[in-house]
């Protein structure tokens, strides 16, 4: 960090805390901001990444009692001062430190001079200087931005059945170290969805937040039902006479008793019938059961059934159901 920044940056303001903030409250505020602006939570957002750097830098200093004391002393000593060229109105940085060595030729200080000036604050620690993990230098952390580094995420995978994914359930998985851990599968989880367990991953190497466990969920297909958002879909076979004359038929539901569904006379294949409230139930709402009608044609007709159908063919309207299709094809 440049010497000018030691005076220009208000770390308390960056974190939104008062100068008498306790260590516990400081940590709480930092964790909240770190989660909000972490690059993993804001992929491709340069502004969020810059903010994350600032709050990490601020926390790295204020969370260390010795660095915080040094920072407060320097801020108090240089309050309102700025680096300026010699001779400008109002003094400047040189005036603040004019008592140390009487200044330098031309009214400027070199980097080595500043090291000598600032070393007074570390004399109680054996004459140490800023840097090497002290105030003004990165102390590790996220890509060297300062502040404690976040622990690594751990990836896990699980395959669950369709009913578990729809209804939700708490299951037990095995961690990478072999130890079991529980995870709540929320109702309505979709195939391919990820569930994140905050703070359950690998620990930070320097006292920061632990990483997460990221569970990739796969859902086995159901032999009858298919997810469509919060709705459940199925194919409903009906006979030719049920579709032509109308009927009330039974429709299965997921994990419950069948329901009665009215098929209106003249219902064609492909028509979708709806059963309200029998879909996926979640905190965000409940879907419906959608039954797509499929008219089943008998593969074998014998005796009276065949004779009856032949009589029907003689009596049915002489309309060509493919007439409109042929017309559109020619157009």
The string of pLDDT tens digits covering residues 201-248 is 888 888 888 999 999 999 999 999 999 999 999 999 999 999 999 999
The string of pLDDT tens digits covering residues 48-103 is 888 988 888 888 888 888 888 877 877 776 544 343 333 444 444 433 344 344 44
Question: Could you give the residue ranges of the DSSP H alpha helices within 205-322?
Answer: 240-245, 303-315
154-219 and 226-330 in the same fold: yes
Asked whether the whole model's pTM tops 0.95, one would answer no
The string of pLDDT tens digits covering residues 139-196 is 444 444 556 888 888 888 999 999 999 999 999 988 777 788 899 999 999 999 999 9
Interatomic CA distance for residues 1 and 130, integer angstroms: 10
Interatomic CA distance for residues 201 and 176, integer angstroms: 10
Interatomic CA distance for residues 78 and 81, integer angstroms: 5
The string of pLDDT tens digits covering residues 7-19 is 668 888 889 999 8
Residue 122 has pLDDT above 60, yes or no: no
CATH code for residues 154-219: 2.60.260.20
Interatomic CA distance for residues 300 and 12, integer angstroms: 84
Instruction: Name the nearest CA neighbour of 69 among 132, 139, 19, 133.
Output: 19
CB atoms within 10 A of CB 220: 13
**What pLDDT band is residue 121 in, cutting at 50, 70 and 90?**
very low
Interatomic CA distance for residues 248 and 254, integer angstroms: 20
Residue 222 contacts residue 160 (beta carbons within 8 Å) = no
Interatomic CA distance for residues 115 and 100, integer angstroms: 12
Give CATH superfamily name and number for 226-330.
Urease metallochaperone UreE, N-terminal domain (2.60.260.20)
Cα 236 versus chain centre, distance: 38
Q: What is the per-residue DSSP string for 57-118? A: HHHHHHTSHHHHHHHHHHHHHTTT-----TT-TT--HHHHTTTTTT--GGG---HHHHHHHH
Residue spans per domain, the chain:
3-144, 154-219, 226-330
- We find that the CATH architecture of domain 3-144 is Orthogonal Bundle (1.10)
Cα 79 versus chain centre, distance: 41
């Amino acid at each position: 960090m440049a010497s000018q920044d030691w005076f220009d940056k208000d770390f308390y303001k960056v974190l939104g805390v008062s100068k008498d903030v306790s260590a516990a409250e400081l940590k709480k505020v930092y964790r909240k901001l770190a989660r909000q602006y972490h690059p993993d939570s804001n992929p491709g957002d340069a502004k969020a990444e810059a903010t994350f750097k600032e709050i990490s830098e601020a926390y790295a200093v204020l969370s260390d009692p010795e660095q915080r004391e040094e920072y407060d002393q320097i801020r108090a000593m240089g309050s309102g001062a700025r680096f300026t060229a010699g001779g400008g109105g109002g003094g400047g940085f040189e005036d603040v430190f004019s008592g140390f060595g009487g200044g330098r030729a031309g009214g400027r200080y070199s980097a080595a001079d500043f090291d000598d000036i600032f070393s007074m604050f570390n004399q109680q620690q054996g004459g140490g200087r800023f840097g090497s993990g002290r105030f003004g230098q990165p102390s590790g952390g996220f890509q060297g931005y300062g502040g404690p580094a976040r622990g690594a995420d751990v990836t896990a995978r699980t395959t669950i059945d369709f009913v578990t994914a729809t209804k939700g359930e708490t299951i037990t998985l095995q961690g990478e170290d072999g130890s079991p851990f529980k995870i709540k599968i929320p109702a309505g989880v979709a195939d391919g969805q990820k569930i994140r367990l905050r703070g359950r991953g690998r620990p930070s190497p320097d006292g920061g937040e632990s990483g997460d466990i990221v569970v990739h969920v796969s859902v086995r297909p159901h032999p009858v039902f298919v997810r469509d958002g919060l709705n459940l879909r199925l194919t409903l076979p009906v006979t030719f006479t049920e579709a032509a004359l109308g009927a009330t038929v039974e429709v299965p539901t997921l994990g419950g008793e069948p329901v009665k569904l009215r098929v209106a006379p003249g219902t064609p294949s492909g028509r979708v019938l709806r059963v309200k409230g029998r879909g996926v139930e979640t905190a965000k709402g409940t879907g419906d059961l959608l039954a797509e009608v499929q008219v089943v044609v008998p593969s074998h007709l014998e005796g009276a059934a065949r004779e009856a159908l032949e009589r029907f063919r003689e009596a049915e309207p002489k309309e060509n159901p493919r007439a409109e299709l042929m017309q559109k094809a020619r157009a």
